[in-house]
């Protein structure tokens, strides 16, 4: 019997799926709305099969969802708060580097 709840396990899977810079880049791009898979190929400068693998990891973890429209598959975020969290983390790091770490809008900080 695990001490972790199903919710803990789910959140861990989401963070694990985010554990690659290419997948973080994809999530950032999806913050502006749904995108076709092909849109990520040029931006990441990798082949379609590599993009497809990254999208599969994100989809299995429930970070993104997809739907087909014509011949294209479009992806969107399930958790639109993830880009916000990433922005807050980047903002915190910039403030820390400048020695200006104060209230950055994180609970408990």
Residue 30 clears pLDDT 60, i.e. is over it: yes
List, in order of start, the domains of the chain with CATH numbers. 6-98 (1.10.10.10)
Instruction: Dump strand ranges (E) for 1-109.
Output: 35-36, 64-69, 72-77
Q: Distance between alpha carbon 76 and the CA centroid of its chain, in Å?
A: 10
Q: What confidence score (pLDDT) does residue 46 get?
A: 93
Q: What confidence score (pLDDT) does residue 105 get?
A: 58
Q: What confidence score (pLDDT) does residue 103 get?
A: 59
Q: What confidence score (pLDDT) does residue 1 get?
A: 77
Q: Which of 18-22, 46-50, 103-107 has the lowest mean pLDDT?
A: 103-107
Q: What confidence score (pLDDT) does residue 98 get?
A: 82
Higher pLDDT, 36 or 92: 36
Q: Categorise residue 99: left if φ over 0, alpha if ψ from -120 to 50, beta otherwise.
A: left
Look up the pTM and report it: 0.84
Residues 9-30 have a mean pLDDT of 96
Q: Residue 76: phi, psi to the nearest 5? A: -145, 160
């Amino acid at each position: 019997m695990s001490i972790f709840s199903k919710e803990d396990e789910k959140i861990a899977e989401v963070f694990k799926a985010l554990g690659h810079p290419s997948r973080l880049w994809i999530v950032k791009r999806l913050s502006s709305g749904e995108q076709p898979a092909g849109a990520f190929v040029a931006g990441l400068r990798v082949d379609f099969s590599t993009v497809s693998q990254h999208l599969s990891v994100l989809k299995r973890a429930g970070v993104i969802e997809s739907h087909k429209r014509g011949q294209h598959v479009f992806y969107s975020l399930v958790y639109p708060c993830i880009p916000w969290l990433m922005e807050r983390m980047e903002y915190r790091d910039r403030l820390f580097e400048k020695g200006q770490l104060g209230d950055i809008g994180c609970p408990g900080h």
